[in-house]
Amino acid sequence: MKELGGYVFTGLLNPAFYYLILFKSYDLLPAQIAQPINYFWPILLAILLAIIEKKPVSAFKYIGMIISFGGVVLISAGTEGIAGVQLSKPGILLAFLSAFLWASFWIVNRRNKNVDTVLGLSLSFTSGSLYLLLATLFVPVNLGSLPGFLSGIYVGMFEMAVPFIFFGLALQKTTNPALTNQLCYLSPFISLFIIHAVLGETIYFTTYIGLFLIVFGILLNEYLSQRRTRGCGCPAKHL
């Protein structure tokens, strides 16, 4: 029962705070900027695990972290300096904060190992939805807005629910879970195509290079983790 009560807190992290902050960053920044910065969360997760759970980070993994961080710097600072586009500093900070909240959410969830993953997510999102409903008592919200209502349904279905179901099914049916996991890193690049096609944003070359560096750094860390695991004969643990 104590573990189930913990999801009252995780619901406050995600979806309540996380989506409010993430969507505000999208309001202040071009989607092609906010999305890659938010994708920096696996590196933040590794850093937080090293600090909170005393998990040592090998010297080689710092290389991957630096590469990913270089990609974030290129996107957030290089876009202004090279592409000549003015970006919102509060928007950049909020995008970083959203990545931090997402990493924190998964760290808290790791502690509830006796609760089924799907049940845990359901409890988090149920409690988070209640927080957001309570917030409407203090924040002016047009609940009768059809576009807003449909957008909420879209986010609920395609941001978490449907992708998690499909990803779970893919892991059950695949003979190569590692490859299935790595295919997920195609998603931010596909997102850039959708951002250009649907929103009409011109994708800056700094975004392409920066996103490549972020994903390359993350994949390098995964590769080093798997190589180290095979060397010691331990089961792999993906962040």
| Cβ 239 vs Cβ 110: under 8 Å | no
Handedness of CA 104, 170, 217, 63 (dihedral sign): positive
What is the residue range of 84's domain? 2-138+176-232
Q: Which pLDDT does position 233 carry in this prediction?
A: 41
| Structural domain includes residue 101 | yes
| Structural domain includes residue 165 | no
Question: Angle, to 10 degrees, between the axis of helix 205-232 and the axis of helix 41-52?
Answer: 40
* 61 compared with 97, residue with greater pLDDT: 97
Residue 111 — φ and ψ, nearest 5°? Answer: -75, -15
| Structural domain includes residue 181 | yes
CA distance 62 to 26: 29
Residue 25 pLDDT grade (very low, low, confident, very high; cuts 50, 70, 90): very high
CA distance 126 to 26: 24
DSSP 3-state assignment of 39? coil
| Structural domain includes residue 75 | yes
The mean of the pLDDT values for the chain is 84
CA distance 229 to 159: 32
**Cα–chain-centroid distance for residue 176?**
23
**Mean pLDDT (whole number) for 136-163:** 83
Per cent of the chain over pLDDT 70 is: 92
| Structural domain includes residue 208 | yes
| pLDDT score of 117 more than 80 | no
| Cβ 197 vs Cβ 219: under 8 Å | no
| Structural domain includes residue 158 | no
Q: What is the pTM of this model?
A: 0.83
Smallest Cα–Cα separation from 210: which of 60, 76, 52, 12? Answer: 76
Residue type, 238: H
| Structural domain includes residue 148 | no
pLDDT digits (tens, 9 = 90+) for 120-145: 778 888 888 899 888 888 888 777 78
**Residue 197 carries which DSSP code?**
I
pLDDT digits (tens, 9 = 90+) for 66-85: 999 999 999 988 777 777 78
Our count of domains for the chain comes to 1
| Structural domain includes residue 74 | yes
CA distance 180 to 136: 40
Cis peptide before 15 (omega within 30 of 0): yes
DSSP 3-state assignment of 238? coil
Residue 39 — φ and ψ, nearest 5°? Answer: -75, 0
